Structure 1
Amino acid sequence: MKICVIGLGSMGKRRIRLLKRIRPDAVLTGIDQNPERAGSVFEEYGIDTYASLEEIKAEQDCAFVCTPPQYHGGIIKSCLEKGLHVFSEINLIDDLYDENIRLAEQRGKTLFLSSTPFYKEEMRLIDSRVKENGRACGYRYHVGQYLPDWHPWDALDDFFASSKKTNGCRELLAIELPWLLHTFGEIEHMHVVKGRFTGLGLEFPDTYFIQMEHAGGSVGSLVIDVVSREAVRKLEVFHEDFYIRWDGTPDSLYEKDILSGEMKQVPAGDYIHEEGYGEFINEYAYAKE
């Protein structure tokens, strides 16, 4: 299989790293208009790189779209028109969204959108426990990290998560809401309080406090921010019959044994961590995806 990875920043490099591990027989090609990033990938992974898809002479089977999200729509359309299956990182805007879905159907091509939490063993176990109980419950969930610490190697103004249109809070919500709704039910009522607690000069609120009432009666409190100087992902799910605590990594999932009163660790899969990322970034889930 011939696979081109479009966008050779941190996510593009992660996909290349995982593809080489999972599909060592695949022929990989990198695409990026930035010669420094392209050169870095060539040196680190030994794959050919180009500035555009049009420069590649060999026909490709599949494309991984790993550019900043504001460019996804047009790139995905171009790949589908060339007859490629497409894997896309998370989308934060809906440019060409419906059109690309129709185009993929017309061309008989797979168009796959990343949603990594669905592949986390912790999420699967939490989802299973909540649904096994079968009754409404409560939860409190905080996800946040100081925005300049997301990509310390990039100037903040050059990082898509600092833009109002594709901001960091929007990205965190796009990551977390799908699995929360899958586990606790569709949102029936919601109340949001927004705040600005940094001096970064951002054009969007840097903190969201969200109260949600779900179909079926579950109620949750979600805090999303790009303020916290400690990278945090902390979840508590509570009910009279169970209590679950999770701090963002597979080894931090605990459930209380109601009979003994002890908090017991719940095995939750492998933990593969790449240096330079927050502790809760587990590449095992990316590999399963």
Structure 2
Amino acid sequence: MGKRRIRCLKALGIDSQNIYGIDKREDRRIESKTKYGINVAEEESDIDFNGINAVIVSLPPDKHYEGVEIAFRYKKPVFVEASVVLADAKKIENNNIDHIFVAPSCTFLFHPVLKEVKKIVASKMYGKVCNFSYHSGQYLLDWHPWEEVNAFYVSNRMTGGAREIVPFELTWIVDVMGYPKEVKGYFKKTRDLGCDIEDSYACLLNYEDMVGNLMVDVIGRNALRNLVINFEEAQLQWRCDADSLEVYEAQTGTWRSIVLENMIHEEGYSKTINENMYIDEINAFLQGIQNRQCYPNTIEKDIHVLELLEQIENSDGGFYRK
């Protein structure tokens, strides 16, 4: 994610000479300097933070607090990648004694499709939502095909691929649908991926007057994100490999296509991944430095979402079950 955030900054007009990257691995420092022309350092102490305006923490999820702590130490606004470790999110909240601006990642809030879905749901143009089903699936070994799966955080059970994606998806779901009053689910290891993680999460979300289903897996050989929303007077469908939403309108008995903006795809990443939303997210963070209302997520919201993950796991024996 660090390289992606560098690309975001450059896309927003930030000069390479004004970007500093810290990484203990020499190969990554060399790659970043060669490919992007940024300044690189091995240690925090190698950087003069008097000239730094903001910090972006793109570390493994179980290392997020270490990066945020640096920002707190120098009193710098900080963007932090999507979290999955509830205890660390609470540490960020509790130790922010100087009320530093903290922007937890919420990438899919900037996805053009889901922004349109939110408008449709909020408008009630088709009546209320009755139920929804969403499946987010991909193959773990395709995430970083250039390195072994055990070489990065997705092979760690606490930060495992499927477990990490649950709050990633819940963040946009609660933004569009609201917070459920109750959640339950199952999480299991269903096949051997060369690491000891649960690869599938099946989650049920119970609202006052509707129900939702979230399925997350990292064993699907074809990357997908499929969404179906049943309204009183319509059905909405979306596949992540399509550039449009399809809506069946009961009143006319016909399908309507909503074509969305062109998407940017970075070489080496899945064609289902839209780079625009990452750029828009960092732009919102930079704007949020001046006005926090410009950024749609907070550490408090992040904690609430991670508590939903905890409740889902607790309904199936808990994360630390034997």
TM-score by length of 1: 0.88
2:205 to 198, 207, 212: 212
CA distance in 1, matches of 2:82, 2:71: 17
The reply on whether 1:148 has 2:138 as its aligned counterpart is: no
1:57 to 48, 53, 64: 48
Deviation of the 1:242 alpha carbon: 1.2
Q: Which residue of 2 aligns with 1:7?
A: none
The reply on whether 1:118 has 2:118 as its aligned counterpart is: no
Q: Deviations over 1:175-226 (max 9, x none)?
A: 11122122223222333233332222543321122222123x1211221101
SS of 1:36's equivalent? Answer: helix
The reply on whether 1:226 has 2:218 as its aligned counterpart is: yes
CA distance in 2, matches of 1:203, 1:100: 28
Q: Which residue of 1 aligns with 2:300?
A: none
The reply on whether 1:82 has 2:74 as its aligned counterpart is: yes
CA distance in 1, matches of 2:276, 2:223: 19
Deviation of the 1:108 alpha carbon: 4.6
Q: Which residue of 1 aligns with 2:2?
A: 12
SS of 1:153's equivalent? Answer: coil
CA distance in 2, matches of 1:212, 1:19: 36
Output the amino acid matched with 1:49.
Answer: V
CA distance in 2, matches of 1:96, 1:205: 21
Q: Which residue of 1 aligns with 2:304?
A: none
**Structure 1 pair 194–25 and aligned structure 2 pair: CA distance change class (3 A):** closer
**Which consecutive segments of 4 or more residues in structure 1 shift more than 4 A?**
none
Output the amino acid matched with 1:63.
Answer: V
Q: Deviations over 1:11-47 (max 9, x none)?
A: 1111111101103347111111111011011111111
**Structure 1 pair 228–96 and aligned structure 2 pair: CA distance change class (3 A):** closer
**Structure 1 pair 252–62 and aligned structure 2 pair: CA distance change class (3 A):** same
Q: What is the Cα-based RMSD across aligned positions, in Å?
A: 2.0
**Structure 1 pair 47–109 and aligned structure 2 pair: CA distance change class (3 A):** same
The reply on whether 1:235 has 2:227 as its aligned counterpart is: yes
* More RCO (CA 8 Å, sep 6+): 2
Q: Which residue of 1 aligns with 2:319?
A: none
CA distance in 1, matches of 2:204, 2:166: 13
SS of 1:229's equivalent? Answer: strand
CA distance in 1, matches of 2:234, 2:160: 36
Q: Deviations over 1:94-122 (max 9, x none)?
A: 34433433544x43531111111111121
Can you give the 5+ residue segments of structure 1 that lack an aligned partner in the other structure? 1-10
1:131 to 106, 109, 122: 122
Q: Deviations over 1:136-174 (max 9, x none)?
A: 421111101111111111211112011111011111111
Aligned pairs for 1:1-289 within 5 A = 11-25=1-15, 27-57=18-48, 59=50, 60-104=52-96, 106-133=97-124, 134-215=127-208, 217-248=209-240, 251-289=243-281
Number of equivalences: 277
CA distance in 1, matches of 2:157, 2:27: 27
TM-score by length of 2: 0.80
Q: Deviations over 1:224-273 (max 9, x none)?
A: 10110000101111124111111125613222244553333213333111
SS of 1:152's equivalent? Answer: coil
Query: Residue 184 of structure 1 contacts residue 218 of structure 1 at CA under 8 Å; is this kept in 2?
Result: no
CA distance in 2, matches of 1:265, 1:90: 31
SS of 1:107's equivalent? Answer: coil
Query: Residue 234 of structure 1 contacts residue 247 of structure 1 at CA under 8 Å; is this kept in 2?
Result: yes
CA distance in 1, matches of 2:48, 2:206: 53
Once structures 1 and 2 are overlaid, which stretch shifts more, 40-49 or 262-271? 262-271
CA distance in 2, matches of 1:96, 1:166: 12
